[in-house]
Structure 1
Amino acid sequence: MRDSFLGLITPSGGAAPTFSVSYMPGERGTLDIYAPKDAKNAPVVVFFYGGSWQMGRKSLYRFVGHALAKRGVVAVIPDYRVYPEVRFPDFLKDGAKAFKWTHDNAASFGGDANRIFVMGHSAGAHIAAMLALDPQWLKGEGLDPARSIAGFVGLSGPYDFLPLQSENLVAVFKGNNRPETQPINFATASAPPAFLATGDEDDVVLPRNSQNLAARLRGAGASVEQVVYPGRGHFGTIMAMIGPLHYLAPVVDDVAGFINSRGAR
């Protein structure tokens, strides 16, 4: 039902979109670009959607692209491979390839390659966090992680969720207690600035995930902003990016404010 609802949202204005640009071989190796009209050296966000690492389509998240473009931010939304086609860490490798493509091509759509942020909701926030915190994934694409990611935005993300209880997730992550799957274990002083948001009524990905990661990052000496939206559940943080639903929470304004306050690393 959620996907059906999101698919009915048809945003207009704010962006000159380009759809289904290939960044790697395969059906799920394409991305969509939402560039503000006449963009020049604009900040860029690579957004990863959620879906328990098992489902999702970029076409359902056009509202995210338009919302960010209206705030002067170029949004890049890739598809990526999901279970059962792949398991951990292949969706991280796909995310790194999408980031690499964005970095190499940012100028062609009005973006600034020195101000690229990673962002995600739910499972997508996990992917974004792993790219931001564990340097091996971008290094695998020939990038210096300490210089490539300007910041990380996580909405209702799972960052500290062991041991796994779901049989599906045990299959996705090839075991129920693998510390290398957890973003919190890669929190260091060199982490890019982070913006972590959750709803206090989230019973899908518990708010302690964001709370624990924020505390670990602060303890390491990294920069982190943390927001808890009262009365909002797991999907409220992403639904609030839909134009008519902005009243749910000031997610778009908060994210845009975080991005626009950050320069190149």
Structure 2
Amino acid sequence: MSADSSLTVERDRRVVERPERTLYADAYYAESGEATDRPVVAFVYGGAWETGARGQFARWALDAASEGFVAVELSYRLSDEATFPAQIRDVRAGLAWARENAESFGGDPDRLAAVGHSAGAHLAVLSALAPEGEFGDDSPVRTRPDSVVGISGPYAFDGDDEDGVTERFLGGTPEEVPHRYEAAQPVNHVSGGAPPTLLLHGEEDEVVPAESSEGLAEAMAAAGDEAEVRTYPEADHVFLHSSYWYPRVREDAFSFLRESLN
């Protein structure tokens, strides 16, 4: 249970078995009788695809539950466990699980959003832009979210990979696995028909430049998609978790989710 006794937190809900490990989700929701019509928000943590865990979005999830959403924190295999497309398959399995179990938490399975930060933003947005089944995910349940929020995400790979993060994630260089580099970039899946998309970015992000969000938003707008980008002066890569920025970023994200899932 959370500090607010009206909120329930169910941890370690089994989602799917993978050869490397079992993946779990945490669910956050308000106790409200028989309500089964609340929008569902799935949070996807960041960490360069090689670190991170459920709990990074706990503050967000608790506040989301307090404000009338059902919130779930998903997990996925990291790049030292499995290379792409394992991560997007895991996130899509988590989104399918969230739809399948939404009503048990008081949620509406037909109103599901994905929210991610950094590598999690990449996976959340990729799940929204790429067609169903694109990565060998064969869920009978719809996995594409109905809206998506990406925060500080890398949506195109510009070849600057001095620390080898992208190479470890994709399992090789662009010359070795060109098909993975092509498939893993969300911008390459822009084709129209995407769900409503909000991209948030700090203008002083030295990990992933704000141009990443701006470029994707421009590409999506050109394809006729509903995409909005907002930047925050003097904000860095992890601004969404700072006490200074959090109230504003949360309100921006939650207002968008209420409208797009209405």
Name the TM-score class by shorter chain.
0.7 to 0.9
SS of residue paired to 1:222 = coil
2:251 equivalent among 231, 240, 253: 253
TM-score (norm 1): 0.87
User: What amino acid sits opposite 1:224 in the alignment?
Assistant: A
The structural deviation recorded for 1:11 is 6.8
Find the counterpart in structure 1 of residue 13 from structure 2: 21
Find the counterpart in structure 1 of residue 178 from structure 2: none
Change (3 A) 1:11 1:157: farther
Percent identity at matched positions? 30
Change (3 A) 1:212 1:247: closer
Change (3 A) 1:164 1:86: farther
Give the distance between the partners of 1:53 and 1:109, measured in 2 at CA.
29
Find the counterpart in structure 2 of residue 180 from structure 1: 183
User: What amino acid sits opposite 1:195 in the alignment?
Assistant: L
Report matched runs for 1:1-265 at 5 Å: 12-13=3-4, 15-25=7-17, 27-38=21-32, 40-135=36-131, 136-137=134-135, 140-144=138-142, 148-165=144-161, 166-177=163-174, 178-237=181-240, 239-240=241-242, 245=243, 247=245, 250-263=248-261
Change (3 A) 1:57 1:129: same
What is the alpha-carbon root mean square deviation over aligned residues?
2.1
- Return the structure number with greater helix share: 1
The structural deviation recorded for 1:78 is 1.4
Give the distance between the partners of 2:261 and 2:30, measured in 1 at CA.
19
Change (3 A) 1:75 1:209: same
SS of residue paired to 1:22 = strand
The structural deviation recorded for 1:28 is 4.6
Give the distance between the partners of 1:139 and 1:88, measured in 2 at CA.
13
After the TM superposition, which of the residue ranges 211-220 and 171-180 deviates more from structure 2? 171-180
Give the distance between the partners of 2:159 and 2:172, measured in 1 at CA.
9
Runs (5+) with no aligned partner, structure 2: 175-180
Segments of 4+ in structure 1 off by > 4 A?
246-249
TM-score (norm 2): 0.88
Equivalent pair of 2:2/2:8 in contact (CA under 8 Å):
no
Change (3 A) 1:18 1:212: same
The structural deviation recorded for 1:79 is 1.7
SS of residue paired to 2:76 = coil
Q: Deviations over 1:103-127 (max 9, x none)?
A: 1111010111110011100000011
Question: Would you say how many aligned residue pairs link Structure 1 and Structure 2?
Answer: 248
Q: Deviations over 1:21-65 (max 9, x none)?
A: 000125450000011231531111111100110011103431121
